[in-house]
Structure 1
Amino acid sequence: MHGPTLDAIKAARRAVQGDLIEAPVLPLTSARWDGILPDCAGVTLKLELYQQAGSFKARGALLGLRGLDPAQRAAGVVAASGGNHALAVSWAAQQAGVDALITMPRATDPARIAGCRALGATVQLYDDMAAAFAAMNAAAEQGRVLMHPFEADHMILGSATCGLEYAEQAPQVDTFVIPIGGGGMISGMACAIKQARPESTVIGVEPVGADSMSQSFAAGAPATLERVATIADSLGAPYAMPLTYAVARAHVDRIVRISDADMLRAMGQYQDVLRLTAEPACAASLAAITGPLRDELAGRHVGIIACGSNISLDRYAALMAALEGRA
Structure 2
Amino acid sequence: MTVASPAFPTLPAIRAARHRLGDRVETTSVRRLRDHALDPRLPTGSALWLKEELFQRTGSFKPRGALTVIMSLTPEQLARGVTGVSAGNHAISLAYSARELGSTAKVVMPRTANPYRIAMCTELGAEVVLVENVHEAFETARAIERDEGRTFVHPYEGPLTALGTATVGLEFIEQTRANGVELDAVVVAAGGGGLTGGVACAVKLLAPAAQLFVVEPEGADTMHRSFAAGTPQGIDKVRTIADSLGAPRCEPYSFALNQAYVDDVVLVSDDAIRDAMRLLYRSAKLVTEPAGAASLAAVVGPLRDRLAGQQVGVVVCGGNVDAASFCRYLALDE
- Return the TM-score normalized by structure 1: 0.96
Amino acid at match of 2:288: A
Equivalent of 1:218 in 219, 222, 228: 228
User: CA–CA distance in 1 between the matches of 2:11 and 2:45?
Assistant: 30
1:114 aligns with 2:119: yes
Q: Percent identity?
A: 43
1:153 aligns with 2:159: yes
Structure 1 match to 2:176: 170
1:30 aligns with 2:35: yes
Contact 1:264 1:323 in 2 (8 A): no
- What do residues 90-114 of structure 1 show as CA deviations (whole Å, max 9, x unaligned)? 1111100101101112221111011
Deviation at 1:127, TM superposition (A): 2.5
Unaligned runs of 5+ in 2: none
Structure 2 match to 1:74: 79
Contact 1:265 1:323 in 2 (8 A): no
Moved >6 Å (runs of 4+): none
Amino acid at match of 2:146: E
Structure 1 match to 2:277: 267
- What do residues 126-166 of structure 1 show as CA deviations (whole Å, max 9, x unaligned)? 23323322221110112110010001222101110111110
User: CA–CA distance in 2 between the matches of 1:188 and 1:134?
Assistant: 26
Report the number of matched residues. Answer: 324
Amino acid at match of 1:14: H
- What do residues 38-62 of structure 1 show as CA deviations (whole Å, max 9, x unaligned)? 2133110110100011111110111
Alignment of 1:47-126 (within 5 A): 47-126=52-131
1:204 is paired with a residue of what secondary structure? strand
Structure 2 match to 1:203: 213
Structure 2 match to 1:194: 204
Contact 1:65 1:93 in 2 (8 A): yes
Contact 1:56 1:307 in 2 (8 A): yes
- What do residues 183-213 of structure 1 show as CA deviations (whole Å, max 9, x unaligned)? 0001000011111111111011111111111
Using a 3 Å threshold, how does the CA distance of structure 1 residues 323 and 157 change in structure 2: closer, same or farther?
Answer: farther
Contact 1:86 1:102 in 2 (8 A): yes
User: CA–CA distance in 1 between the matches of 2:116 and 2:236?
Assistant: 29
2:282 is paired with a residue of what secondary structure? helix
Contact 2:190 2:196 in 1 (8 A): yes
Stretch moving more, 34-43 or 198-207: 34-43
Deviation at 1:34, TM superposition (A): 2.5
1:151 is paired with a residue of what secondary structure? coil
